[in-house]
Amino acid sequence: MKDLPVKIEAVRAAAAAIHGAIAHTPVIPAPAITELAGAKIYLKLETLHRTGSFKERGALAKLLTLDSSARRAGVVAMSAGNHAQGVAYHARRLGIPATIVMPEGTPFIKIDRTEAYGAKVLLKGDGLIAAREAADALSRDKGLVLVHPYDDPAIIAGQGTIALELLARQPDLDTIVVPIGGGGLISGIAIAAKALNPEIEIVGVQSTLYPSMYRLMRGEEPGPPAAAATLAEGIAVKEPGRLTRRVVEALVSDILLVDDVVIEGAIEVLLERQKLVVEGAGAAGLAAVLAAPERFRGRRVGIVICGGNIDARLLASILMRGLVREGRLVRLRSELPDIPGALSRLSGVIGKHSGNIVEVHHQRLFHDTSVKRAELDVVVETQNRRHVEVLIAALVAAGFPTHLLPNGGSGGEEG
């Protein structure tokens, strides 16, 4: 570990510097997830910081290294998310002017949150690369200190304080699972954890759509990311840092890839089983464990839940999709006579068997049925898949031929 850009002493110094200004986040056992995973799971809840993510640690550690003249001049950062808020919040606390450069297409909610913490927001370019170039130009032209999101020794040391807290609380861990974007988080954690316990395994996780560090560890170029957006936008980094890749190559044993479907399921598990609201990047570590349980079976695993800033509408969509996948929200198509009272009788059958009707579409004109009959599409909340079968059987017995519609369309195929 002699050639690494950050040493354990720097992490300990960062911990002393930020003490009292940064939440000492809890480490909790997760028995419900342990049962699912077949491994003893502990969660490090970095969602509980003031700005909802671990980024505050590195941001404050960096700001505290500035001398008085640098503080007067101010800082600049490029970010469209958690780093922006971490820098803005602690810069305001310390009386340091902060400018955050964001891409022009950044959602208004992220701009508003960052400005609410006292930073000046500039919208530059059509993506993070252009925003980064604009931040670099401001740093050069106006003498502002650039607060890099991950490729800076002070940032890495600040993020490493997570490992000090995690292993103080749970020193017997076999493995720590950490999401990877640019690599600042896993680098700091790996440096601190390996210094405290050289035998501990550090496993990184990336989105299959942004596998830059994964490729580097295999001797490949990072390459362009997939064109599609990812649910784990907090780790959607096209090219990892120069410093961080050195640490990852030296100390990280493996990087696992997870796709958005698995991340979506992990968000749902964390909410339903642990009552935790977590963003896509924050759920990536758990997603990796649930996707490859044999990789972790029988081990004591610490998972860093790195952020909780998920859009409420996105979270609502994820939960509703989860209900559909589990058969707890289904679409049924029933045929009924086009006479007064038929709809009331059909809804009565559903209600009698504890189904909850969410939506109803009554169709007389556009389906291939007799002019004397109609088709009814109903969205029903159910208990489980077995309950769906009971409802269908009851409707058929009551004289309403019924079948389950597939999730993806409005066709009449048997489900």
In this predicted model, what pLDDT tens digit does every residue of 168-187 receive, in sequence order? 999 999 999 999 999 999 99
- pTM (two decimals): 0.85
DSSP string, 151-176: SSHHHHHHHHHHHHHHHHH-TT-SEE
Distances (CA, A) of 300 to 24, 39, 201, 274: 21, 6, 11, 18
8-51+170-320 under CATH 3.40.50.1100, yes or no: yes
For residue range 94-118, what is the model confidence (pLDDT) as tens digits? 999 999 999 887 878 888 999 999 9
Please state, for a pLDDT cut of 90, what percent of the chain lies above it.
Answer: 74
Beta bridge partners of 44: 27, 304
Nearest to 270 by CA among 242, 178, 262: 262
CATH topology of domain 75-143: Rossmann fold (3.40.50)
- How many Å apart are CA 45 and CA 308, to the nearest integer? 9
The CATH fold assigned to 328-404 is Alpha-Beta Plaits (3.30.70)
pLDDT score of 1: 60
Query: Minimum mean pLDDT among 22-26, 38-42, 221-225, 305-309: which range?
Result: 221-225
CA terminus-to-terminus distance, the chain:
57
Which one-letter amino acid corresponds to residue 110?
A: K
Q: Is the pLDDT confidence value at 136 over 50?
A: yes
Q: Judge whether 75-143 and 328-404 match in fold.
A: no
Residue % of the chain over a pLDDT of 70: 94
Residue 340 pLDDT: 87
The neighbour count for residue 188, using CB atoms within 10 Å, is 33
Nearest to 98, CA basis, from 137, 158, 140, 146 = 146
**What does the domain layout of the chain look like in residue ranges?**
8-51+170-320, 75-143, 328-404
Residue 253, pLDDT score:
96
Res 364: pLDDT? 58
